[in-house]
Amino acid sequence: MNAAIDYSCFTRDEDGRRSLYMQVDGMRCASCAWKIEQALAAHPGVEARINFSTQRLRVTWPDSVPPRAANDFAEEIEALGFQVAPFDPDNRAAAAKAGERDLLTCLAVAGFATAAMMLFADALWFSRDLEGASRDLLHWLMALIAMPATIWCGRPFFRSAIGALRHGRTNMDVPISLAVILANALSLFETVRHGHYVYFDASVMLLFFLLIGRYLDLKARGKAREAAQGLLAMLEGTARVLREGRPAAVRIRDIRPGDILVVAAGEKIAADGVVLSGASEIDTRLVTGETLPRAAVVGDRLYAGMINQAAPLQIEVAAAADDSLLSEIVALMEKAEQSQSVYVRFADRVAALYAPVVHVLALATFIGWIAFGYFTGPVAWEEALLKAMAVLIITCPCALGLAVPVVHVLASSQLYRQGILVKSGAGLETLAVVDTVVFDKTGTLTLGAPQWLNPHVLTGEDRRLAVAMAAQSRHPLSQAVAAGGDEPLPVIVTDHPGLGLEALYAGETVRLGKGTWLGVPDSVDRSMELWFRRGAGPAVRLVFADVERRDAADTVAALKRRGLRVLMLSGDRPAVAQGLGIKLGIDEVRASLSPVDKVAAIEALQAGGRKVVMVGDGLNDAAALAAATVSMSPSTGMDITQNAAGFVYRGEGLKPVVTAIDIARRTRILVAQNFALSLVYNVVAVPAAVFGLVTPLIAAIAMSSSSLIVVANSLRLKLQRV
């Protein structure tokens, strides 16, 4: 462990327990994460959870344990062969990009070396009478290409294997590294002594196909690292806080409870708090999803991420950035991401048996052939070693490793052509088995912005006046009027926060705002209306609505025909949400939900055995999107929400939801077929290698052919129409 780092300084209090977040490097498969969790959980009261996608470890323990325990945990992880550091998302992202570039370079070199090696291998293979100096020359040329290529391209596998062996454990990279080293060592030995057992091409080809699978896996996992970074970015930047009676700029992360925030009109609220002075209207769409702003007066609770629209406010901070609603949403997202990796971890634990089984099988093959020679005639140790290497190579789970990512790449390409971006390979797997679709309302089932429904009630100069006044306001209803398209008139507008707009035109007072402000008797619900009055003329009612997307009802009906249960979870008022649900044919509608309520509703459905796909577009949906089995977001949604979602779709319609489910179901069938093909390959190929029926080159070709068969089967996805 780095002696300069005291991890006790990075611990925090969470619900009466100490917690520590660490970055763990050196994990090559999810079974590594499982080993770390099991080692730490062996201590009484200690809980450890790793998000393998972000390589972030969270350890919690009782307050009764001394703070120095944090350093003990770090030392224990490093004793297992991994590197740890305090979690830093910026450094993690930079390291991930560097690792991706290095892996891509290795892949490119291996591909070039494989193509070059095949030129010499073909000459040796098809020219059986090639002997003497000509054959030796080809062998030396192959060695000059293969030796540096394998040393360079094999680094990801060699480093992993050495790190595992150094700490008394094995992983999948150990037999792979052993086969490559033995193949090159024996080939070089045979080249020096003018022998025939030269298989440089087998080792290079093996590395090339393995690097393809590793790069595809790295790209898929890299997408998951973006999920919470957008939310965390909202906790950066500066805000204005009263210091000695004067506003001063401070970092958002340095804001503490009791500080007084000064929030001007148009600024984002930096921390959770209570209004001390001022009255304004607050855009809550990022948090609640509501289309219309809410009035805020002294004593109202506001949350980080909301936007002050109308007038300056002073807010007493109630929670620091790390304890804000945004931080709670990030924690919920990370918890959900960890819970989705159960099946992946189970598969990796099973795959962890691969290394010891293959080593035993290869050793048994070598000893068996030497022993067999005593009964049937001497068997050269080189030949026995080649048969053992063939076992190491032919049992490489390359086809099994490509069974899922190849289909997912093809499915992702097909979905992209349909306007759907796939951000999670695991999302395709889970989308195929969902039985429940949960929609957010605002911005998902609806367009997310009010539409002016009766522009005909204003004509001529009155309409141009209304457009001119509305263009100078940020209120969503005013923006809907301003979008009317008429050429505005030059007027000077006075904004009356919470009431409306006023202008003087041709000696007449013109008002656009609330009915009560214009002297219109109050009614039951004025949430989606404005009133316009010019001078002493009559007040004219302007009606608005957040209209549903054009194919929303058809999409809901199509989902029901596929046997899916459809629900709506909304932060909007019950009357509005219920009305839309009836119009679209959604029988289950739940309204007035906070972000935490939405997560609870999703978890309740899953606890009842439902597999849920969540479709939403707002900050209030980010945690629910991460908590769902799989999630989708329109491209018009927030960047943060799109990062949390497994799928992002373009366009104004909802048809992509149905399209994605249909393609995911076909993808699942092909993945199952690929696994079956991989199983058949191993059942046939492994015994053939053990009984000496294949050489290392044939083993590499067979291994590569199994991958090509898997790819060819996956290509059938492109033949099916959407």
Active site residues: 440
DSSP strands (E only) in 2-148: 12-14, 17-25, 47-51, 56-62, 83-86
Rg for the chain, CA atoms, rounded = 32
Structure tokens at 556: 């809901």
The DSSP annotation for 381-410 comes to: HHHHHHHHHHHHHHT-THHHHHTTHHHHHH
Neighbouring residues of 569: CB distance < 8 A, sequence distance ≥ 6: 438, 439, 440, 441, 590, 593, 598, 601, 602, 624
CA nearest neighbour of 186 among 171, 172, 202: 202
H or E element at residue 76: helix 69-79
Beta strand 313-317 with 273-277 is antiparallel
Q: How far apart are CA 197 and CA 650, in angstroms?
A: 57
C-alpha separations of 510 from 260, 520, 532 in Å = 38, 15, 8
Closest to 208 measured CA to CA, from 701, 693, 676, 675 = 701
Query: CA-to-CA distance for 433 and 647, rounded, in angstroms?
Result: 15
The alpha carbon dihedral of 182, 184, 187, 193 has a sign of negative
8 A C-beta contact, residue 627 and residue 332: yes
Distance CA 83, CA 77 (A): 7
Q: Which residues contact 268 (CB under 8 A, 6 or more apart)?
A: 305, 306, 307, 308
- Spell out the SS3 assignment of 134-179: HHHHHHHHHHHHHHHHHHHHCHHHHHHHHHHHHCCCCCCHHHHHHH
Reading the block at residue 155, the tokens are 């680094």
Going from the C-alpha of 385 to that of each of 179, 370, 392, the distances in angstroms are: 10, 9, 11
